[in-house]
Amino acid sequence: MLDIKFVRDNPDIVKQNIKNKFQEEKLPLVDQVLALDKENREAITRASDLRAQRNALSKQVGMLMGQAKKDPSKLQEAEAVKAQVKAQAEELAALEAKEGELEEEIRKIMMVLPNIIDPSVPIGPDDSCNVEVARFGEPVTPDFEIPYHTEIMERFDGIDMDAAGRVSGNGFYYLMGDIARLHEAVLAYARDFMIDKGFTFCIPPFMIRSNVVTGVMSFAEMDAMMYKIEGEDLYLIGTSEHSMIGKFIDQILPEEKLPQTLTSYSPCFRKEKGAHGIEERGVYRIHQFEKQEMIVVCKPEESMDWYEKMWRYSVELFRSMDIPVRQLECCSGDLADLKVKSCDIEAWSPRQQKYFEVCSCSNLGDAQARRLKIRVKGESGRNYLPHTLNNTVVAPPRMLIALLENNLQADGSVKIPAALRPYMGGKDVIVPKH
């Protein structure tokens, strides 16, 4: 969310940013919110004047009432001033109510105006305009056919989507045996990988209140993603970033406690609205999965350095499991409204002969901090808003696809990368049952 002072001082920048994000339907909102802001400031000024006048008149009433003890004619004058005070009190009450209404209207508009994107972000309407920045590792295509990922898992008796469909419906799965163990090995390795980078491990709440939801994401994202608990002011989290950033709601953090670097495990729950293509069957796009996340809360001047570090951690992690990846810079139209800059890390799929998204790293500037009222007390004693960042460490369903495809052998076995072997009981390969 933008600062209303910034919008007031830079309306043309805000409008150009809206155009850069291809959200022209929001352009009228800028003039609308400025008009409301002007009206609100005028109401605040008038209310302040009335309070000052009321104080002066109240003192005058007291003085006149004191004089009325000796001069009864002053009583009538005092009553006239009292009537004036009453009339002003009624006007003041109306102004205060108006202030509340105007502030709510302003907040509603400010919540949907997109954050100012970084100048380095490529301009484009959708993800087709995302830009490949770099590749890490050599994509390999074996000389044997690679089955669809669920077929690979079925050879190990490692997945049962039919049973999950009977129990929960589409978009769920049972993982079993070596595949389930590999899933947990990836999560455990990712946890320890981030701890070794100096991040603090955390398991957060898996449900959050509505004020946290609206603090961490846009309304459009919330509607497309979140499951609400019926009859409760609680939502199931779509990623642990939601509750991890929410951890700091309404807090003033000492500057010496920055940066806050956290890595969190959680299950994730997502509606995943809309139809999906053939490559999004299986465990690619599902309603429930588990994930290891990294979150940073830092000084504004340090956020771009952390952004660079965080996506590089993802590259290092995937390369340690023998998976080729590339970094893809997200264009303006592909950025969620709160994001300043974002990139995807995509893993190589030998079966599809292309890359697919496995991580998303984002710098949200001070947008979440402003919404959640997270502040930092600086050395000078002045409070300021920190910047927040997040990045996927691993989401094993998609990670499993990349891991299985890139480590599948001609005989149907799957090689276990050296980094995962301690978490797989020392196994260097798993062998299919069929």
Q: What are the residue numbers of the active site?
A: 270, 285, 357, 360, 398
Nearest Cα to Cα of residue 286 among 306, 262, 269: 269
Instruction: Tell the burial category of 408 from Cβ atoms under 10 Å away from its Cβ (0-12, 13-18, 19+).
Output: buried
In DSSP terms, which residues pair with 268 in a beta bridge?
289
Q: What is the DSSP string of 264-319?
A: EEEEEE----S---GGGTTTTS-SEEEEEEEEEEE-GGGHHHHHHHHHHHHHHHHH
Instruction: Tell the burial category of 428 from Cβ atoms under 10 Å away from its Cβ (0-12, 13-18, 19+).
Output: exposed
Rounded to 10 deg, the angle between the 303-319 and 177-196 helix axes is 140
Instruction: Tell the burial category of 130 from Cβ atoms under 10 Å away from its Cβ (0-12, 13-18, 19+).
Output: buried
What is the rounded CA–CA span in Å between residue 279 and residue 275? 12
In DSSP terms, which residues pair with 342 in a beta bridge?
362
Place of tokens 């079993």: 176
CA 12 vs CA 8, 27, 31, 308, 331: distances in Å: 10, 10, 10, 30, 21
Q: What is the DSSP string of 373-405?
A: T-EEE-TTS-EEPPEEEEEEEE-HHHHHHHHHH
Sign of CA dihedral 354, 360, 361, 364: positive
The H or E element spanning position 98 is: helix 73-110
3-state DSSP percent of the chain in helix, strand and coil, to 5: 50, 20, 30
What is the rounded CA–CA span in Å between residue 131 and residue 124? 10
Rg (alpha carbons) of the chain, rounded to whole number = 29
Which residues have CB under 8 Å from 17's CB, separation 6+? 114, 116, 117
Collapsed DSSP state (helix, strand, coil) of residue 432: coil
